[in-house]
Structure 1
């Protein structure tokens, strides 16, 4: 049916109005452009960087360390490490920060990781998790591509995922327990598929309970590296019946932070050679 000349302006106005509403709806529903991830603290972040701040220090372990193996962990903010001195002070294993998120590589990584190996110290690499900037699989792949892999040489520990309080904002990275647990599973599943070894999980019991709802699904697959600065290990996160490594102090006689492996040196060697979580 043809429209009269008097009706045509009204018809065109209605179309124009509909187009404006559609354009407005597109603007409202379109996802916001992603901001550039913040890595301003990356050079200073390390395993446990936020744990003492949030949980405090309740003391140091008793001197009875029978059956445990002394080690430590380091990151870029320590600068070059005197590995001969570290070995002389009793360090038998170490973990070195390799990466953070998908945008930061430790500039000291080569000296620290390769230097430990040259000094006869069993070493591994760890990744500082940033669930707020990208997915777990993407970060596992970034970690592997920048030093976080594993080799069957008997002196390389499997990689570790450092998942702890967010230094950039909300302590749980703005995620609910289910989503954060899924993120961790995405990282560990990808690492296992690519490297054929299960990654260790570094965390504290308090953070794990608060941010994952005390998820119990990792204890049979991923060795636990527990952070607690007190005289005893204390409560473990759900799903684990033991810790493989206990980070018990910040600083001390070795560079970085102090750790005990839960067993004699032969157990550290076994993990480097391919022992599973149950044997770690």
Structure 2
């Protein structure tokens, strides 16, 4: 007959075996992915991992896309649009940044220019002059609250190396009237003087990089907005503003209005080997932005005429 002591020993060994099995099972569970952080109750391990990787990657991604010229699909921050920002987002670029075929383009001459904005910062104008650039447009304003912080260096720097220079305004018709924006532009870099080296200001009216393509305006309302801007600008400066646009946007958002062809010079944007079909009312273009090549040198443009004719335009002819 078993003794009481031997029965107690067997019960103790059985209990120990059960405890051992439970400990082994618990260790196995804790070894599963994510179980350690869940078991801690506050997710410290998971949080530390996220802090080490996820936010850093998200920040880097945002910096590499948001508002940068190198990514045509990225929306620019308010104030940071440039001449062609919306074009790059909506129309294909069929160039590789090289010179277009001047024969196909029907160019009368090859007066080469650039347009720049805050994305270029302080521009090395002497380098561009030595490369053959002879005119430059700098972004001055956008809407009624943004002024290019690099405008003085760009506008005066191009002038000082011998270029014929001008200023442009990026229009946001949904934010205020055409007259209000024209006055803001004229008062903040968009003025004109008959010095032989200053071109008339440009109304950059194109795809909205911030939202609705036509800024929420009907076709007739858009035409009236542009008339409001151009008539006010002429009253302020004595010059008809150049209109920068694309045929596609103009057709969609103004109904292909022909109201400006006899008064306002056309700056057509088309990144291809030729400027293509022009908007209604214009029988020829004055400037052509033929490629958008990146943040370091600005966009590339041609004046459709000789250097002599460009000087005439600067003088008010």
Q: Same fold (TM over 0.5)?
A: yes
Match of 1:44 among 62, 67, 80: 80
Q: Is the 8 A contact 2:120 2:295 kept in 1?
A: no
Match of 1:53 among 84, 89, 94: 89
Q: Does residue 1:230 correspond to 2:280, yes or no? A: no
Where structure 2 has 5 or more consecutive residues not aligned to the other structure, the ranges are 1-75
Where structure 1 has 5 or more consecutive residues not aligned to the other structure, the ranges are 1-39, 276-280
Instruction: Map Cα deviations across residues 6-29 of structure 1 (whole Å, 9 max, x no partner).
Output: xxxxxxxxxxxxxxxxxxxxxxxx
Match of 1:76 among 96, 118, 122: 118
Matched residue pairs, number?
237
Q: Is the 8 A contact 1:43 1:76 kept in 2?
A: no
Instruction: Map Cα deviations across residues 136-177 of structure 1 (whole Å, 9 max, x no partner).
Output: 000000001101010000000000000001111101000000
Q: Is the 8 A contact 1:252 1:258 kept in 2?
A: no
Q: Does residue 1:164 correspond to 2:206, yes or no? A: yes
Q: Does residue 1:62 correspond to 2:101, yes or no? A: yes
Compute the displacement of 1:66 (Å): 5.9
Map 1:1-280 → 2, pairs under 5 A: 41-59=77-95, 61-62=100-101, 64=103, 67-251=109-293, 255-275=297-317
Instruction: Map Cα deviations across residues 32-88 of structure 1 (whole Å, 9 max, x no partner).
Output: xxxxxxxx7244310001102201112362165662311110001111000000101
Q: Is the 8 A contact 2:79 2:142 kept in 1?
A: no
Q: Is the 8 A contact 2:120 2:296 kept in 1?
A: no
Runs (4+) off by over 3 Å? 63-66
- Whole-angstrom CA distance in 2 between matches of 1:76 and 1:164: 18
Q: Secondary structure at the match of 1:274?
A: coil
- Whole-angstrom CA distance in 1 between matches of 2:117 and 2:134: 17
If asked which structure has higher relative contact order (CA below 8 Å, sep 6+), I would say 1
Q: Is the 8 A contact 1:91 1:254 kept in 2?
A: no
Q: Alpha carbon RMSD of aligned pairs, Å?
A: 1.7
**Structure showing the higher helix proportion among its residues:** 2
